[in-house]
Structure formats: C-alpha cells, structure tokens
C-alpha cells in the first residue's frame, strides 16, 4: 500500500530495506487528517516533483549522511518497476540488493561500510525515483479501487495457492483505519510467516490495482 522509505538498523551490522508505494504492506502512509491534500492538489511539473522525490530520499536513505551527494535525474520509474531499478543501480555500485515483497532488500554490511551503502542507496533512489505523489494521501476513490482489487483479485489468487486468508473488514472500516494511520488488512502480510513463502506469494499474486494511480503518473 502507500509505503514510504523503510529503514531497519539491525545489531552490529546494517541492513537497509526500502519499499516503494507499489504494493500492499502492513503500514500505510495515512494522511495527517481527513482534509489533507492529495494527488489532485500536488504540483505536476518535473522540477517540483523531483524536488519532492529528493526530499523523501534525503529523509529516508539519505538520513544521517554527512555529505549528501548531488544527483542528476536519470529517469522516472513506475512503482512496479522501482524495486528492480534500484537493484540494478545498486548492482553497478557493487551491492547485491534483491527484490523482496514489492520492495528492495539491501545486503547486510559491517558498520564501517554502512555509510557507503547508505550513500549508494541515496544516489540510486535519486537517480531513479518513483513519482512522489504516490505517497500522498489517497482519495476515497483510489482507496476504493485498491480495496476492490485486493478482495476480488488478490484474495482469490492467494487462496488458490492453498493459503488461508482472513476475511477482510468492510471498506468503511478499512478506509477509516488507513486515514487514522493504523495498520490495515491485506491478504499477504498475515497469510504466511515464512519470509520465503511470503516472497512466493508476492511473486505469484498481484498486489496493486493496475489503474490505481492517475494517468499522469511519471515513469
């Protein structure tokens, strides 16, 4: 669902996990209030959108970098293509990242290399950004499209693989939880506990409505 950058620091080593806004996840980025402004009121020109994307990258993977590098936009990528674009870019920088559950899983590195990994992740995020408007509050119409897709397409797919899925809440309950910033139901996160089995579900079952975002999305 609407996912901003996720950052996980684990023990004595550093593991970086990023999720774009392309898929379902346990923690949606909810609007700060029901009256918050969304896609329709956001700027649409490339310069303003790229500024938004850079701000998100600096607040996410660029956080705590002593020297944030200057980066030039290479190209916009669609949400569904963002993970692979990051993996390819990181591979060129010498890091074996992988696509996991609609996002990017970065390799675990020693503490002494954490800053270099974070810097490379920032460069890739800024070079191949996703349209930052996907992280803005969803309209009721967008939420309705995604809910319908989850319940009529994703759920049957997951169940066809022999995996039990809890019955979804009503749309009103689901949407209210999203607006309030709570974790909301999806057919993936609670279906299986094994990470590899969850990866398989993501690989075999669609998670995002194909017409979720407006046609002027970058990429």
Domain regions of the chain by residue span: 8-135, 140-204
State the chain's mean pLDDT as an integer: 82
Written in H, E and C, the secondary structure of the chain is CCCCCCCEEECCEEECEEECCCCCCCCCCCCCCCCCCCHHHCCCCHHHHHHHHHHHHHHCCCCCCCCCCCCCCCCCECHHHHHHHHHHHHHHCCCCCEEECCEEECCCEEHHHHHHHHHHHHHHHHHCCECHHHHCCCCHHHHHHHHHHHHHHHHHHHHHCCCCCCCCCCHHHHHHHHHCCCCCCCCCCCCCCCHHHHHHHHHHCCCCCCCCCCCCCCC
pLDDT of residue 183: 83
Q: Is the pLDDT of residue 15 over 50?
A: no
Q: Is the pLDDT of residue 205 over 90?
A: yes
- Does the pTM exceed 0.85? no
Across the range 160-170, mean pLDDT stands at 93
Across the range 15-23, mean pLDDT stands at 42
Across the range 167-188, mean pLDDT stands at 91
């Amino acid at each position: 669902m609407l996912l901003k950058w996720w950052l996980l620091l684990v023990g004595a080593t550093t593991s970086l996990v990023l999720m774009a806004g392309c898929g379902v996840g346990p923690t949606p980025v909810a609007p700060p209030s029901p009256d918050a402004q969304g896609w329709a009121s956001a700027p649409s020109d490339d310069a303003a959108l790229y500024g938004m994307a850079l701000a998100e990258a600096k607040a996410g993977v660029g956080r705590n970098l002593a020297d944030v590098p200057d980066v030039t936009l290479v190209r916009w990528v669609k949400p569904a293509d963002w993970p692979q674009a990051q993996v390819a870019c990181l591979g060129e920088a010498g890091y074996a990242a992988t696509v996991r559950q609609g996002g990017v899983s970065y390799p675990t590195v020693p503490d002494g290399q954490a800053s270099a990994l974070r810097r490379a992740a920032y460069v890739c995020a800024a070079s191949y950004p996703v349209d930052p408007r996907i992280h803005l509050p969803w309209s009721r119409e967008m939420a309705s499209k995604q809910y319908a897709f989850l319940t009529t397409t994703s759920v049957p797919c997951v169940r066809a693989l022999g995996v039990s899925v809890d019955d979804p809440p009503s749309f009103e309950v689901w949407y209210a939880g999203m607006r309030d910033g709570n974790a909301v139901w999806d057919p993936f996160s609670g279906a299986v506990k094994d990470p590899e089995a969850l990866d398989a579900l993501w690989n075999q079952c669609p998670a995002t409505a194909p017409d979720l975002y407006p046609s002027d999305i970058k990429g």
